[in-house]
Amino acid sequence: MRTATARRVTSLLLATVFLAGCADEPEDDGNPVPYTYLGSAYRLSGTDYVDAVDLPSSVADEIHGHSSATERLDSEDKVFLRYRDDIVAISPFLTGSRIEVADYRTGYRRWKPHLRSWPDPDGAGFRGGGPGSGK
């Protein structure tokens, strides 16, 4: 009887240690836009962010360095970063840059002339939208 109880206690302890270890691992949520970073590093202006000094390529490097984008595309004087469900567009603004965030479908439609090498969300083969959707 004591042996069976000891085995149950040992099993429960091992399960608890295993589950506690799993809880410490970061959840893989794709690679979302780093909104917290954008809010702390850049000035909010309406619905966009502004960097009053740095050019789009430097701002894109900063953002990508903080949270890696799936893809980066430089087009004319703009830079586009592709995240899980969104596009971050960085364009010249006064002496610095404007940073705009749009969901992938809206952003693709808006900046389509620049994004032709990225998958069209309205195309038959598009598999975007995050974990589990459209797959």
Q: What pLDDT score was predicted for residue 10? A: 43
Q: What pLDDT score was predicted for residue 104? A: 95
The predicted model gives 6-11 an average pLDDT of 47
Annotated domain spans of the chain: 35-111
Q: What is the residue-averaged pLDDT of the chain?
A: 80
The predicted model gives 23-29 an average pLDDT of 41
The predicted model gives 84-113 an average pLDDT of 96
Region label for 29, one of left (φ > 0), alpha (ψ between -120 and 50) or beta (otherwise): alpha
Tokens at 34, concatenated: 């780093």
Minimal CA–CA distance to 63: which of 116, 92, 101? 101
Q: Is 31:68 a contact under the CB 8 Å cutoff?
A: yes
Which strands, in side-by-side order, build the sheet including 43-45?
Answer: 43-45, 48-51, 96-103, 86-93, 78-82, 71-75
Query: Which alpha helices (DSSP H) does 25-126 contain, by range?
Result: 35-41, 56-66, 104-111
The predicted model gives 109-132 an average pLDDT of 77
